[in-house]
Amino acid sequence: MLRYLVQRLIGILPVLLLISVLVFAFVHLLPGDPARLVAGQDATEQDVAVVRTALGLDRPLWEQYITYVGNVLQGDFGTSLKTRRAVSDEIGERFMPTFWLTVISMAWATVFGLVIGVSSAVRRGRWQDHGGMLVAVSGISLPSFWLGLLLIDWFSVRLGWFPTSGYGTWAHFVLPSITLGAGVAAVMARFTRSSFIEIAREDYVRTARAKGVFERLVVWKHVLRNALIPIITMVGLQFGFLLGGSIVVETVFAWPGLGRLLVDSVSFRDYPVIQAEILLFSLEFILINLLVDVLYALVNPEIRYR
Amino acid sequence: MFSFKKAAIAGALLLSVATPAWAAKDLVVGVPDNLTGLDPHNANDTLSQSASRLILQGLFGFDKDMKLVPVLAESYEATPEATEFTIRLRKGVKFHDGTPFNAQAVKINFERLANPENRLSRASLVNMVSQFTVVDDETIKLSLKEPFGAMINNLAHPGAMIHSPAALEKYGKEVMRNPVGTGPYKFVSWQADTLKVAKNENYWKQGLPKVDSVTLRSVPENGSRLAMVQTGEAQFIYPLPPEMASVAEKNPKLDVISKPSIVTWYVAMNNLKKPFNDIRVRQALNYAVDKRAYAKIVYNGNADPMDSVVPPGLPFYAKQQEWPFDVAKAKELLKEAGYPDGFETEIFAGNNTTSIRAMQFLQQQLAQVNVKLKVTPLEAGVAAQKIWGVSKPEETTVQLYYGGWSASTGDADWQLRPLLFGESFPPKMFNVAYFSNPEVDAAIKAGLATADKEKRAEAYAKAQEVAWKNAPWIYLGVERLLAAKSKSLSGAYYLPDRGILLEEAELN
């Protein structure tokens, strides 16, 4: 197990290097002149030229890349073109808001999704199933900007229970995490239900029942435990996506997170920030995948890595 | 009978009534974007400039109606040919860090700004000055390389505000995160999307400021921003999108501010390209568009038709005869120009909702005279390259460009010279109509060659008259600005250039 982990961790390095090349090339191939955007709307050509040299954008691309990788290896991700601040500071400031929002949303969405999924599967075809799936379909279908604005209108403007937007106290988390988690909970519920029903058809479940094992034990030990494997994969994927910061939710709730930073950076052609963010997201995904693999082993003794 | 409970309640009531007298008065403002920095010498967006204006001040500035007023200066004298400006400064002013404000401080700031090695994006505001001379503690003299009549307006631009020289020395480039000025508020913190400033107890204007702190919070979503002021989390928000104005108007706790801006919207026609090199075609398109319908459809009624190339809110504006909506006349002119069956062309603009709606409106209007418009929204980066980055006029792909302009120096020069001067073709400046007219060019030059207001007015009147008749643009409208504020807030102003002024803000 330990050897496996070390191998996987070493394997991350070439992947990140490849990603850095791709991201660098891709970002620099985007049309648009960052020097002009940085210099501002009413800058003269002279101003733009000054900015271009100041940012080193007049040097050949490969030279810029080598400098970039050299700096990244020393932990220097460069300076934001827009705010002229260290990229690590920009990202550092926004990482925790996105991280906590993701954790809280995922936590409630996973629990809620599992409960609805299992109850729908166990009472298949009955009202619990129809009700649960109605909630799930609604959760998937509601566009998050609409749900977000609706929640603000009800709970902030009309009832005054929660702040409309921003980041600070626990109360600030309630509405954004509901908005962000709704879609995830819905996906989890549907996924759990189908995975559960599939496993419930397996021979060993029938055998267990034939042996006279209590129904509750069959459900929780035999079925759920096996159904968890694909569910863990799903949780991992969703978690990875959310860690990238939800652009819509962060915009609606004025959340100072990574998603909004990414949009701002893309429209501003803030290369250093875009590159660092994508590297960070890739790293997060890789680590989450690793974690998911380890969790498989814990849940199912058959999948043990040697 | 004495009741302890009652006494406690009475006491609590008394306290709650009395509280407002001691409560900190914190003003929260909801703004649309994130700041980019608090060093105005190096800032390009109106929001960062507005934010800097809470903390820093310039020698001159603008009041709530965009009228130029002296701030840290008391008066000035200029030579008639506009090559030397002697400015007398206000006495007894101190920066937040205790450094005295004087001519030396001004010299240090302007020399920093003008020095090309510092690569500050606002250098062009003062780089026509060859020498800054400290005459005495309260007097500074600017000697110019060439005449520049709009010098005082340049100094009123937020980009020419004055940092504490001690702070410049201490922080260098990092003053953008540690601004120290002479303004009504002192810098407290700026994180991610929130700026906090606190009252400057030693402000040189007696009795100001009247609030204890100001917080600027960036809330990009229009609906969420409006919700902030509805719940009382904020007392002022801008911009208020036109389609939400009626919601805010119905709210008894809110006031809607609507005022003319200096933001003009127009379609620049490429005057070098067929068919727009023919003045009859340009005239025809001006007749073919109903400007009142434009205001209604694109701005929910919150725009006024243009009646000069300079908006009414700028000095030296000279009213011209509006182009009437006349489809028959337009068709006749097109026929004369050799396009009886119209033609096909393409229009570029930004990719936000309003611009797209404007282009679709134009498409529908021009269809009436058989001009088929292909609508092409451009993402900001692409626009920077396709429209502003083209190195030679003959290489541009621009036929029509829908866009807006706001003259940030508050002077007619910065409306006319970047947009309609023969030497301002992209990439140098923003004359995307590629309009070049010797009479207009001469008038624009004449307006800059003197500091005499009457002579400048005369020159700019001429420039406006000739440019207007030549129809380099399809003239559309001057936007009205909308903001919402709590009724408890007074003295907060929304400026015609989309900036805000909070010096006199008061919460009741």
Handedness of CA B441, B446, B451, B452 (dihedral sign): negative
Contact of B208 with B184, CB cutoff 8 Å:
yes
Residue A57 lies in a domain: no
Confidence of residue B13 (pLDDT cuts 50, 70, 90): very low
Contact A32 B382 (CB under 8 A): yes
Contacts B381 to A, Cβ<8 Å: 30-34, 37, 267, 269
3-state helix, strand, coil in chain B (%, to 5): 35, 25, 40
Nearest Cβ partner for A45 among B123, B379, B427:
B427
Q: Is A93 left (phi over 0), alpha (psi -120 to 50) or beta?
A: alpha
Tell whether B133 is within 8 A of chain A (Cβ).
no
Average pLDDT over residues B269-280: 93
What is d(CA B109, CA B161) in angstroms, rounded to the nearest whole number?
Answer: 8
Nearest Cβ partner for A39 among B44, B382, B383:
B44
What would the pLDDT profile of A31-48 be if each residue is shown by its tens digit? 667 777 777 666 677 777
Taking the domains of chain B in order of start, what are their residue ranges?
A: 26-253+487-507, 260-480
Q: What is the ipTM of this complex?
A: 0.76
Query: What is the separation of C-alpha A198 from the centre of its chain, rounded to a whole number of angstroms?
Result: 28
Mutation target among B36, B235, B423 for the A interface, most CBs of A within 10 A: B36
Tell whether B37 is within 8 A of chain A (Cβ).
yes
Query: What is the separation of C-alpha A62 from the centre of its chain, rounded to a whole number of angstroms?
Result: 31
* DSSP string computed for A103-146: HHHHHHHHHHHHHHHHHHHHTTTSHHHHHHHHHHHHHHHS-HHH
Is residue B37's pLDDT more than 50? Answer: yes
Tell whether B117 is within 8 A of chain A (Cβ).
no
Our count of domains for chain A comes to 1
Which residue, chain included where needed, has tokens 């001429």? Answer: B462
Mutation target among B177, B231, B376, B408 for the A interface, most CBs of A within 10 A: B231
Tell whether B410 is within 8 A of chain A (Cβ).
no
Contact B389 A264 (CB under 8 A): no
The count of CB pairs under 8 A between chains A and B is 132
Q: Hey, how many other C-beta atoms are within 10 angstroms of the C-beta on B10?
A: 11
Contact B427 A48 (CB under 8 A): yes
In this structure, what token pair is assigned to residue B207? 């009795």
Instruction: State the residue range of the domain holding A271.
Output: 99-303
Contacts of A237 (CB under 8 A, 6+ apart): none
Give the pLDDT of residue B23. 61
What is d(CA B287, CA B36) in angstroms, rounded to the nearest whole number?
Answer: 42
Give the pLDDT of residue B106. 93
Please, which contacts does A50-57 make with residues 24 or more away whose CB atoms are closer than 8 Å? Answer: A50/B116, A50/B119, A50/B121, A50/B123, A51/B119, A51/B121, A53/B119, A54/B119, A55/A81
Contact B381 A30 (CB under 8 A): yes
Contact B384 A37 (CB under 8 A): yes
What would the pLDDT profile of A114-171 be if each residue is shown by its tens digit? 888 888 887 878 888 888 888 888 888 888 888 888 888 888 888 888 888 888 888 8
Contact A50 B123 (CB under 8 A): yes
Give the pLDDT of residue A42. 61
Relative to beta strand B26-31, strand B236-237 is parallel
What is d(CA B315, CA B304) in angstroms, rounded to the nearest whole number?
Answer: 18
Tell whether B408 is within 8 A of chain A (Cβ).
yes
Select from B443, B446, B414, B408 the least CA-distant residue to B430. B414
pTM of the predicted model, to two decimals? 0.78
* Nearest C-alpha in A relative to B37: A83
Give the pLDDT of residue A40. 65
Is residue B9's pLDDT more than 60? Answer: no
Average pLDDT over residues B331-341: 93
CA distance B185 to chain A (A): 22
Mutation target among B31, B34, B44 for the A interface, most CBs of A within 10 A: B44
Contact of B433 with B473, CB cutoff 8 Å:
yes
Contacts of B180 (CB under 8 A, 6+ apart): B55, B95, B96, B97, B99, B163, B164, B166, B167, B187
* Nearest C-alpha in B relative to A268: B381
Level-2 CATH architecture, domain B260-480: Roll (3.10)
In this prediction, what percent of chain A has a pLDDT beyond 70? 95
Contact of B404 with B479, CB cutoff 8 Å:
yes
Tell whether B5 is within 8 A of chain A (Cβ).
no
Residue A11 lies in a domain: no
In 3-state terms, what secondary structure has residue B460?
helix
In this structure, what token pair is assigned to residue A12? 């991350």
Residue A156 lies in a domain: yes
Is residue B180's pLDDT more than 80? Answer: yes
Give the pLDDT of residue A303. 65
Is residue B16's pLDDT more than 80? Answer: no
Tell whether B486 is within 8 A of chain A (Cβ).
no
Contact A163 B233 (CB under 8 A): yes
Task: Please confirm whether the linkage preceding B220 is cis (ω < 30° from 0).
Answer: no
Using CA atoms, how far residue B58 sits from B74, B106, B156, B182, in Å, is 12, 9, 6, 9
What is the domain-level CATH number for residue A219?
Answer: 1.10.3720.10
Using CA atoms, how far residue A160 sits from A193, B175, B236, in Å, is 37, 39, 18
Average pLDDT over residues A206-221: 78
Average pLDDT over residues B141-164: 90
Contacts A150 to B, Cβ<8 Å: none
**If contacts are CB pairs under 8 Å, which of residues 366-395 in chain B contact chain A?**
379-386, 388-389
Contact of A181 with A140, CB cutoff 8 Å:
no
Average pLDDT over residues A227-243: 84
Residue A42 lies in a domain: no
Contact B223 A50 (CB under 8 A): no
Give the pLDDT of residue A30. 72
Average pLDDT over residues B414-426: 91
Contact of B310 with B262, CB cutoff 8 Å:
no
Contact A40 B44 (CB under 8 A): yes
3-state helix, strand, coil in chain A (%, to 5): 80, 0, 20
In this structure, what token pair is assigned to residue B434? 């590629």
Confidence of residue B103 (pLDDT cuts 50, 70, 90): very high
Nearest Cβ partner for A254 among B217, B380, B386:
B217
In this prediction, what percent of chain B has a pLDDT beyond 90? 56
Quick one: which H or E segment has residue B37? none
Tell whether B38 is within 8 A of chain A (Cβ).
no
CA distance B237 to chain A (A): 14
Nearest Cβ partner for A32 among B218, B227, B384:
B384
Give the pLDDT of residue B459. 94
CA distance A20 to chain B (A): 22
Tell whether B215 is within 8 A of chain A (Cβ).
no
* DSSP string computed for B148-167: -TTHHHHHHSGGG-B--HHH
Tell whether B454 is within 8 A of chain A (Cβ).
no
CATH of domain B26-253+487-507: 3.40.190.10
Nearest Cβ partner for A33 among B35, B192, B389:
B389
What would the pLDDT profile of A70-123 be if each residue is shown by its tens digit? 888 888 888 887 777 888 888 888 888 999 999 999 999 999 888 888 888 878
Nearest Cβ partner for B231 among A31, A149, A164:
A164
Contacts A36 to B, Cβ<8 Å: 384-385, 388-389
Average pLDDT over residues A197-209: 80
Is residue B211's pLDDT more than 50? Answer: yes
Give the pLDDT of residue B15. 42
Contact A32 B45 (CB under 8 A): no
Contacts of B433 (CB under 8 A, 6+ apart): B268, B269, B270, B271, B401, B419, B420, B472, B473
